[in-house]
Amino acid sequence: MRRAAPPETSQMSDNSPEKPVTRATPQALLVDDQSFEQHRPTGYHPERPERLTAARAAAEHANVSWQRVAVREATDDQLARVHSPAFVESLEKLRGHRGYLDPDTYYCEQTIVAARRAAGGVAAMVEDMLSKTDGSVGVAMPRPPGHHARPSQAMGFCLLNNIAVAAAHARALGVGRVAIVDFDVHHGNGTQEMFYRDPAVLYISTHQYPFYPGTGAADEIGEGEGTGFTVNIPLTAGGGDSVYRGAFDRIVLPVLEQYAPELLLVSAGFDASARDPLAEMNLSERGFGYMTQKLTVQARRSARGRMGLVLEGGYDLVALEAGLADAISAAIGDATFEVPTDPENPDIERAVREARAHWKLA
């Protein structure tokens, strides 16, 4: 269900009782690039350019004045913060070629350019966000997606880990604490691995479990100095809005409140939708709106409003467009979303017990 757009005019303020104050159209950063549509499979593949068309439609129909981020290829130095140089070099050799990196992960002649511009674009978004003193929200729709990409391995439709490159870039620019919240239906194994020993990048994931890629058990909590700074909330297939609300209200939001990130990045996949053909969760678009709205509140509290939504999966075009539209209206348009609660979900109880070793949770 799509929520109504916010009103064009606000109530008369006490300071200027004579005339209504016109509310300016909210501004936000947008990462999009022609190269993202040039990553094309041979024959049918769920990770297809039409996904970008759906995401663009969501952005176009939003009541937002988009400021386009200048997209450029990620540099070797930016990539080397999370990927091995040998891996990046091996990808470079694929420029202009077509094939498969694993049974799921195709590349075509333009893929390496797209992948490097995807990672570079999300990093540039973070740089633009940090240059603004009043904070800003960004929406990035990179293709290929990123959260399964490991330090030295492409997998799960992903070549370079866009959000991880951006988080590491923020750290290099002096941000003390970055949080990545990943509500894609799949566990972001690559992102987790890259920051598993790093307390300066908190990784929190909700995901169907057991499911591809197999990682993301509740007892995967980080290592060494990073212990406690990976929070996994594995969910049994079939859960919907109320389960996700439980995960957010009981774990994601209180952990974020305690961590107080200075920048919040979101691996925004829309494949936990009830319509998605690859997974078995049951979120409505309202659920995506609810989660994003709550994250927006947290970003305003600790991160001066700096929150970047980075597209990951989502393979039903209708669900992708509707879910992203509601996420955008929550992040930028201040729309609010109500979803039911599920007070005694065993998945949530188990994840709470695990996370309680490191965080104060009710």
The catalytic residue positions are 148
Does position 313 bind Zn ion by CB under 5 A?
yes
Piece in contact with Zn ion (CB under 5 A), picked from 91-99, 121-129, 252-260, 306-314: 306-314
Instruction: Estimate to the nearest angstrom the gap between the alpha carbon of 164 and the chain centroid.
Output: 10
Pairing of strands 105-107, 263-268: unpaired
CB of 213 to Zn ion, least distance (A): 10
Task: Decide if residue 275 touches Zn ion (CB under 5 A).
Answer: no
C-beta of 26 vs 269, nearer to Zn ion: 269
Give SS3 for 141. Answer: coil
Residue 18: which residues within 8 A CB-CB, separation 6 or more? none
Q: Which is nearer to Zn ion, 215 or 302 (CB)?
A: 215
Using the minimum distance from each CB to Zn ion, give the nearer residue, 124 or 235.
235
Please count the residues of the chain: 362
CB of residue 123 to Zn ion, shortest distance in Å: 21
58: tokens are 């969501």
Q: Which of 144, 222, 269, 333 binds Zn ion (CB under 5 A)?
A: 269
Please state the separation of Cα 55 from the chain's center in Å. 13
- Closest residue to Zn ion, judged by C-beta, is 313
Nearer to Zn ion, 260 or 274 (CB): 274
Q: Does 145 bind Zn ion (CB under 5 A)?
A: no
Query: What is the rounded CA–CA span in Å between residue 262 and residue 34?
Result: 31
Q: Which is nearer to Zn ion, 177 or 187 (CB)?
A: 187
Residue 186 sits in the site that holds Zn ion (CB under 5 A): yes
Query: Does the protein bind Zn ion through residue 146 (CB under 5 A)?
Result: no
Distance of CA 140 to the CA centre of its chain: 9
List the one residue from 128, 198, 220, 271 that touches Zn ion (CB under 5 A): 271
- Assess 51 for contact with Zn ion (CB under 5 A): no
3-state helix, strand, coil in the chain (%, to 5): 35, 15, 45
SS3 at position 202: strand
- The closest of 166, 163, 210, 268 to 220, measured between CA atoms, is 210
Stated as kind and residue range, the H or E segment containing 208 is: strand 201-208
Structural contact between residues 136 and 27, judged by C-beta atoms closer than 8 angstroms: yes
Instruction: For residue 130, count other CB atoms closer than 10 A to its CB.
Output: 19
Q: Which stretch binds Zn ion (CB under 5 A): 127-135, 167-175, 229-237, 261-269?
A: 261-269
**By C-beta, is 104 or 342 nearer to Zn ion?**
104
Query: CB of residue 186 vs Zn ion: minimum separation in angstroms?
Result: 4
- Regarding 184 and contact with Zn ion (CB under 5 A), the answer is yes
The residues binding Zn ion (CB under 5 A) are 184, 186, 269, 271, 313
